């Protein structure tokens, strides 16, 4: 996304489908979890948005049209599940923020442009 913000092409070193999490949403969830802490121990997943690499590139190119056709990826699924079950976290801390892939991509590229 940093390259796209500069209008440059880039090859992403992996493909497939993965879960994408918007960092500010994860930070908010961390703060909520810290406030909801109890004496019990829990391990919970964050409810991200499973997306194919084509969807990621489409979101990048939508926000950074100068990079359209210049963002590519290599085949190969990362060694992670495509999505994670995340009901426990919301049961523990309440509703969590959920920024869409399109909105998170737009905000991230705008951040890189402002830097």
Domain ranges of the chain: 2-114
pLDDT at residue number 109: 97
Angstrom CA distances, 31 to 36, 88, 91, 93, stand at 9, 16, 15, 10
Q: Tell me the whole-structure pTM to 2 decimals.
A: 0.87
Cα-based torsion angle of the residue sequence 8, 11, 12, 14 in order, rounded to the nearest 10 degrees: 170
pLDDT at residue number 53: 96
How far the first Cα of the chain sits from its last, in Å, is: 13
Return the CATH architecture of domain 2-114.
Answer: Alpha-Beta Complex (3.90)
Full pLDDT tens readout for the chain, 115 residues: 999 999 999 999 999 999 999 999 999 999 988 888 788 888 888 888 899 999 999 999 999 999 999 999 999 888 988 888 888 998 888 888 889 999 999 999 999 999 8
Angle formed at CA 26 by CA 80 and CA 84, multiple of 5 degrees? 30
């Amino acid at each position: 996304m940093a390259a796209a913000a500069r209008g440059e092409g880039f090859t992403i070193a992996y493909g497939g489908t993965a879960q994408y999490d918007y960092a500010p949403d994860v930070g908010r969830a961390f703060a909520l979890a810290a406030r909801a802490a109890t004496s019990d121990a829990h391990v919970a997943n964050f409810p991200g948005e499973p997306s194919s690499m084509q969807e990621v590139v489409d979101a990048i190119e939508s926000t950074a049209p100068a990079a359209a056709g210049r963002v590519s990826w290599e085949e190969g699924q990362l060694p992670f599940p495509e999505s994670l079950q995340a009901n426990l976290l919301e049961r523990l801390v309440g509703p969590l923020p959920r920024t869409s892939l399109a909105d998170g991509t737009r905000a991230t590229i705008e951040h890189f442009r402002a830097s």
